[in-house]
Amino acid sequence: MDEQIETLQQHLQDLRHQLHAGTVYQSLGNRIGQLIDGVHRQRRTPIALPDERDGIRNLLKDVSQGLEGDREVHLTLAELDHLLQHLRSTNPKIRYLGVHFTLYDALEDGVFSAAQIQWLVTQLLRDDRLFDHILEPSNQGVYGRSAATSFLATLIHYSNDHPKLVQLDYDEIVVKVATYICLETDTRGFINQQGWAHAFTSITELLTTLGDGVQLTRADKLFLMVTLLERFKRLTTPLIYGETERMGGYLVLLTNRHPIYESACLTALKQWRQQVALHRRATETAAGWNQFYNRRRLLDAMRLQRDLSPQIRAYLSSAIDFLA
């Protein structure tokens, strides 16, 4: 793993432990933000993509026919690894319509053993999948990162429904997911000929699933929520493919679960407004306007949620947006 990513991961783990111990709370957002700001981006490097001539089409066909024909399907770890490799494909017919839906259907049909599900989660959390070319400018690595995050959400949702069957290492999941959120900056939605990138849709889907489960402590759910907000406010490219609506839904669902999430979210929103006001006289740039409109879209998405808490709604209704 890149030394910089390893260091970030350790700092996030330390912050998480401090939050659990009750020694950090009000400053959590600022401290996570400082870690994000300290990340140094790298130059673009070549990306090794999977080869569609390696038998993936035949494997997908065999599994799909077995599932559709109500035949008992068995997948070896080698075959599962073969499928996972092609979650990185730039061909949406292979990556999304092929591998993702085949894995989803196999999970739904009970093809995977508990050990295989745990193995799949471990594989999806691997650094070479979750952080593939993540420090570089927008690149084709986003497909694998986003697909891994999306299917990880599916597996965790399954484990939420089968807690006695599947035992996952949630300590590792929280730190890995927080690290990924801090590092991801690719906001592209649909890309011609290559399909959906949608990294932040996948991130929100995963956080929603983790928030729905009972395995995470309140501190961990709060930690991930604050990490998402700190990453979001620093994005300098637009999120315009429905991501903010999903994020707004996630924030409302979580803040309605317990007053501690509501309080932390309200604190983060107030700090964010102060930061916007502080920099309102900054030189206008496309990046600055993208940040402004990303924020506006998210706050509007929250306002449109019927279940938004009265306290947050009152604040959003009284807050003044600064234009720069």
The CA angle 291-209-294, to the nearest 5 degrees, is 10
Give the tokens for residue 320: 């003044």
Q: 196 - beta bridge partners? A: 190
Average pLDDT over the chain reads: 94
Say what the pLDDT of residue 229 is: 98
Residue pLDDT, tens place only, 104-153 = 999 999 999 999 999 999 999 999 999 999 999 999 999 999 999 999 99
Beta carbons within 8 Å of 28's beta carbon, 6+ residues apart: 15, 19, 222, 223, 226, 264
Q: Given a cut of 90, is residue 199 above it in pLDDT? A: yes
Say what the pLDDT of residue 323 is: 43
Tell the residue number behind the tokens 């569609």, with chain if given: 52
Identify whether the C-beta of residue 308 lies closer than 8 Å to the C-beta of residue 252. yes
Say what the pLDDT of residue 204 is: 98
Q: Phi/psi at 195 (nearest 5 deg)?
A: 80, -155
Q: CA–CA separation, 285 vs 236, rounded Å? A: 10
Say what the pLDDT of residue 280 is: 63
Residue pLDDT, tens place only, 246-286 = 999 999 999 999 999 999 999 999 999 988 877 765 558 89
Render 129-149 in DSSP notation, one character per residue.
HHTTTTTSSS-THHHHHHHHH
Nearest to 265 by CA among 318, 219, 229, 218: 229
Nearest to 136 by CA among 49, 48, 43: 43
- Residue 70's pLDDT band (boundaries 50, 70, 90)? confident
- Residue 62's pLDDT band (boundaries 50, 70, 90)? very high
Say what the pLDDT of residue 150 is: 97
Identify whether the C-beta of residue 322 lies closer than 8 Å to the C-beta of residue 280. yes
User: For the residues 145-164, what does the mean pLDDT come to?
Assistant: 95
The least confident of 4-13, 202-211, 282-291 is: 282-291
Say what the pLDDT of residue 282 is: 57
CA distance between the termini of the chain:
38
User: For the residues 74-101, what does the mean pLDDT come to?
Assistant: 97
Exposure of 268 in the CB half-sphere (CA atoms within 13 A): 29
Q: Which stretches of 22-140 are DSSP H helices?
A: 28-37, 56-68, 77-85, 92-94, 101-108, 114-124, 127-130
| Burial of 282 per CB tally in 10 Å (0-12, 13-18, 19+) | exposed
Q: CA–CA separation, 159 vs 181, rounded Å? A: 22
Tell the residue number behind the tokens 């690595």, with chain if given: 141
User: For the residues 95-108, what does the mean pLDDT come to?
Assistant: 96
Say what the pLDDT of residue 321 is: 58
